[in-house]
Amino acid sequence: MKYRETLYQNYHTNQSGRASLTDAKSLFDREKWRFSKEILPVTKEWSKDLKIIDMGCGSGSLVSLLNQSGFNNVIGIDLSKEQVDLGKELGVDNLVQADIIEYLNVQNIKMDVLFGMDIIEHFTKDELVELLTNIKSHMNNGGKVIFRTPNLDAPFSTVFANGDFTHENYLNLSSAEQLMLSVGFKSVKVHESNMDIKGFVKNSIRKCIWALLKFRLKLILFATGRSTRGLIFSPNLIIEVTV
């Protein structure tokens, strides 16, 4: 049996839910709060009629948030039946259990936007190049693709990169740009993920500590004779590309 058949079968129970140390509804709400900080600002000028797919949607927290924000043509796709069933129990109806490549090919879908939150790290390098090439062929002209993935340049990067046995590849800013440009995407932008925490005082303290930590990291890199220009240290990368 291939490992994916074992690990994805009950992915929420054995990974996402377990690792979050919380119940499914609390995790769902927490993910929506994070996406409201990280993703919604990008969508402010978008038409509400855009055809949007959330690849690896999990329980559908981003799909739910987009629906509540007025987007009326959103579908979430996930390989895990447990995740999709959980999302439907939480009131997200437009979720599909499927392999993304098979779904796109069989349905012959053309998209305006594709989201992939915490998903591209689950593919081998060969699989990921094939996936991105396939996605590109299903995008309308001017379409946008937005990914979030662990950042290998982050301090304690193994907490995110190796915290899930199903992860297959890891990127930093340079390799993310290299990959996206190589498969033919345009206007590649890579930036920090959102790291806010709830509570004004706590978040203000966090921001101060983070500024000091980044300064220390840049000093270390300077001492080794390497440039710090363009480096990203946040736990995750946000990758935005245009077709």
Each residue of 168-215: pLDDT tens digit?
999 999 999 999 999 999 899 999 999 999 999 999 999 999 999 999
The token pair at 231 is 């480096």
Q: Which CATH number fits domain 3-196+231-242: 1.10.1060.10, 3.40.630.10, 3.40.50.150, 3.30.930.10?
A: 3.40.50.150
Q: What is the pLDDT of residue 147?
A: 98
DSSP state at residue 14: I
Domain boundaries, the chain: 3-196+231-242
CB 200 within 8 A of CB 210: no
Q: What is the pLDDT of residue 15?
A: 67
Q: What is the pLDDT of residue 20?
A: 53
Q: What is the pLDDT of residue 195?
A: 96
* pLDDT less than 50: residues of the chain: none
CA–centroid distance for 186 within its chain: 19
CA–centroid distance for 198 within its chain: 21
Q: What is the pLDDT of residue 161?
A: 82
d(CA 56, CA 69): 20
